[in-house]
Amino acid sequence: MDGWFRLHRKILDNPIVCKDGEHLAVWIYLLANATYTSYDMYFSGKRITLKAGQLITGRKSIAEKLKISESKVQRILKLFENERQIEQQTTSKNRLITIKNWDKYQMTEQLIEQQLNNHRTASEQQLNTNNKYKNIINNKNNSSCGSLQEVIDFYNNNIGMITSYGLEVLSDYAKEMPIDLIIYAMKIAVEANKRTIQYIRGILNNWNKKGIKTLVEAKQENQKYNKNKKQNSKNTDWGKMYDDLIKKEGEQT
């Protein structure tokens, strides 16, 4: 996510947020990932309008990003909720978090003026993004559209909030590949700690070149890679060569 956010000096007077380093880290994570403009997203199977100061995330994503245990993340978020720092709605897959007093600490007169000056351009850009998202999801001619939401949910929960570009890339693959194959590619990216759309695209492009069209074939290819990596563990350049190949494939348009 691009851009910046304000960190008010009053944060040092907040005993909840500054309880320890991990509490502060989670709080900064929430601030850094909250949206600053409204746009439509899917949450719990329904399309909602995500407003400024809100984000959709999961304790697993936070834990992996900050290197904190999931149980600790859960306790921290619950404390923030009880102390009215946030509001949250949880599902079995993710949670919608609303940061209280977002406008009070993140909005300034300069920002408000800038938003008013750019309102028309921003509105047109967001409308185009929302329409693209709506068309992709609701396109009845796309045989995979019924399962595309599974891809989006996995991406949001394990990699990060999906962008318009990421959605377009994955929806294109969904027209030609089984959904479970795309999700498996994302799982490999997560396990390799390469959580980028470019790395995922590199895996899928590599499979396309090798004629891999089924989940069974993809798993066999991944097992072959892991076996070779184990056998060549003394050769530290081998794994890097494979990653470089995937990176190169992902950079191709």
DSSP track, 69-103: -HHHHHHHHHHHHHTTSEEEEE-SS-EEEEETTHH
More confident residue, 222 or 229: 222
Do 31 and 62 contact (CB within 8 A), yes or no? no
The residues spanned by each domain of the chain are: 9-109, 141-251
Give the 3-state secondary structure of residue 211: coil
Position 171 pLDDT exceeds 80: yes
Per-residue pLDDT tens digits for 49-99: 999 899 999 999 999 999 999 999 999 999 999 999 999 999 988 999 999
> Which residues, 6 or more positions from 151, have their beta carbon under 8 angstroms from its beta carbon?
170, 174, 179, 182, 183, 186
Task: Say which amino acid occupies 52.
Answer: A
Q: CA-CA distance, 120 to 90, in Å (whole number)?
A: 34
Q: What is the pLDDT of residue 142?
A: 45
**26 falls in which pLDDT band (50, 70, 90)?**
very high
pLDDT of 54 reads 94
Residue 145 has pLDDT above 50, yes or no: no
* Residue 137: per-residue pLDDT: 54
- Across the range 151-167, mean pLDDT stands at 86
Q: Is 119's pLDDT higher than 80?
A: no
pLDDT for the residue numbered 143: 43
Lowest mean pLDDT among 17-21, 31-35, 119-123: 119-123
Contact 16, 23 (CB under 8 A): yes
> 134-143, 158-167, 178-187: which has the minimum mean pLDDT?
134-143
Window from 14-28, 36-50, 220-234 with minimum mean pLDDT: 220-234
Q: What is the CATH number of domain 9-109?
A: 1.10.10.10
* Residue 113, both tokens: 């003026």
Q: Which helix (H) or strand (E) holds 156?
A: helix 145-158
